[in-house]
Structure 1
Amino acid sequence: MAAALRKILTFGSMLLPYGVHELKRRLNNRHKFSADVARSLAENRQLAGLHAGERCFILGNGPSVKGLDLSRLQGENVITVSNGYLHSDFDKFQSRYHCVPQITYGLMTPEDVIRWFNEMHSHLGGQELFLSSTEAELVQKNNLFAGRTVRYLVLGESFDERTSDEIVDISQPVPRVESVPVMALMIAMYLGFKEIILLGVDHDRFLSSTYQYAFDLKVQKGKDFTVNADGVLTRGRHDEFQQLARLWRQYRAISNIAKANGIRVFNSTPGGALDEFERRPFQTWFEE
């Protein structure tokens, strides 16, 4: 009964303005991927438990990061996301992995994505890159990320339809995400990390009605359809809260998976609204 109700609510949310666009995208891309992506998924099995027992930091792009000394991450396992290569101290700590979720096309055109990916490639060091399979064809056709290890995730079903507390297997289609830290959390768990620390995962724009970053965007500047040129939200509270409800359910599912598998997830973001994980100040991770 509960599962059926979740499916009804999920479908209902698709009737919202952004939901209509998202529903079309899901129908067009539902588990549809090339032989190359299928091979890439199979290769993801090599990653299972690669960092067993270690800790990692997932670095988001929220403005709270401005108050952190990111140079302290040097020597740590760091997963950055989206435009995270623009962090002021990025060259000092150099992340191990970099994640980009499925891209919403509209203001962001395929040509924009090519320019963004080229910018990304020029700033990243030797990081392995995780993309959504929806961008695989564009990457291959335009010979993007030459010489870099690029892995794909097939972001297919909904967390609402997933009943298992097993670690998400990224060599198979995985639940789609509302925000890239959820993607990074799935990857970190599959890699075997036993302590995962979130930084800059603010998720508080519903309180401020603005969406800011810890840095100035370059290629992606002005390409987010949910905010205007000043970073002020363009959609109303109703639509915003529907998206947040989906996002928080994903974090709750991740939290349950972590607990069932002996993984500890901490939120060391200064401030922010995310309340699904234990809080711990950033500096305490570096105390003797």
Structure 2
Amino acid sequence: MRIRLSEITPKRIVDAVHRRIEDIPDAIAWKYSELASSNKERLSHYRNIHRGKRCFVMANGPSLGEMQLQLLRDEYTISMNRAYLLYEQWGFIPSYYVCINELVLEQFAHDISTLHMPRFINFNRRSFFSEADTVDELMYLRFGFKLRDQFSGDAVQTLSSGGTVTFACLQLAYYMGFDEVVLIGLDHSFVEKGVPNTTEVRQSEQDKSHCHPDYFPKGIKWQLPDLYRSELAYALARQAYEEDGRRIFDATVDGRCNVFQKIDFSSLF
């Protein structure tokens, strides 16, 4: 089960049903709309584009601040959510950007529209972006609602979120053909505690759970993480990669996720 029995509440059940009803128009649009058709064509150009290569998936834990990220300047990299706040500090622009969280897309659509690299975002928040954005290297990924998460190696099809954008990045990296993926910034630990997926308004002045103090600033809506569900999803990713002769390593500094084989970051260069 991807949800612990102790975390099932009447409100969570009602919210889940409501989300599935709201998703029906998006499911129909993904199957029949002209936008979805052209989007799938653009996505198809990324299938196995990096076969045999290595990439770094950059999660957004505070541990990123303890790493020599300038070493990644000539590597393939996938960043996510509000990592763009640190691009200037890193001294390079990551190869790709992924964001599937609806609250992030709703509240920071303008920021995401100004990024200049291939971007992959959640199809069900397409209304926050213009047609000009899709011409400028912005593509949509479709995430459905299933009782159990599944790993998919085909980004043109409906994907599972696994409760975390990192799982989406691992599916996208697989689709692109990367043979080796190295995770960094996967601290898998948050200061805030509570029922997973609960939407809260940030009350503290600084965000201590992410790589930048203004990642989710005061007054911004965000959702509590579902670490248990994400662990189950990560296990699916590891299995899919290994069955195809590929590998996922975790080079996070003091990361608490124990799904992937640990590796020292500096030893990779």
TM-score (norm 1): 0.76
* Corresponding residue number in structure 1 for 2:167: 182
The answer to whether the aligner puts 1:130 opposite 2:120 as a matched pair is yes
SS of 1:151's equivalent in the other structure is strand
Q: How many residues align?
A: 252
The answer to whether the aligner puts 1:223 opposite 2:223 as a matched pair is no
Percentage of matched positions with identical amino acids: 21
* Corresponding residue number in structure 1 for 2:136: 148
Letter in 2 for 1:200: G
| 105, 109, 115: which one aligns with 1:117 | 109
CA offset digits 1:112-140 (Å, max 9, x no partner): x3xx1222333x3x310000101112213
Letter in 2 for 1:130: F
Structure 1 residue runs without a partner (length 5+): 1-5, 228-239
Residues 177 and 250, structure 1, Cα contact 8 Å, conserved in 2? yes
CA offset digits 1:203-252 (Å, max 9, x no partner): 1127988852111326765323447xxxxxxxxxxxx7xx3222111111
Distance 1:109 1:258 in 2: 29
Letter in 1 for 2:229: R
Superposition deviation, residue 17 in structure 1: 4.0
Distance 1:161 1:184 in 2: 15
* Corresponding residue number in structure 2 for 1:245: 228
Letter in 1 for 2:237: I
CA offset digits 1:156-206 (Å, max 9, x no partner): 1438264xx7x5211111113311111111000100000100110111127
* Corresponding residue number in structure 2 for 1:75: 74
Distance 1:159 1:261 in 2: 25
CA offset digits 1:2-51 (Å, max 9, x no partner): xxxx59x6999664645543442233114242430233124312211100
Letter in 2 for 1:27: I
For the structure 1 residues 82 and 144, does the alpha-carbon distance in structure 2 shift closer, same or farther, using more than 3 Å as the test?
A: farther
CA offset digits 1:51-92 (Å, max 9, x no partner): 000000011111011101111111110000000111265552
* Corresponding residue number in structure 1 for 2:36: 37
SS of 1:50's equivalent in the other structure is coil
Residues 102 and 135, structure 1, Cα contact 8 Å, conserved in 2? no
* Corresponding residue number in structure 2 for 1:169: 154
TM-score (norm 2): 0.81
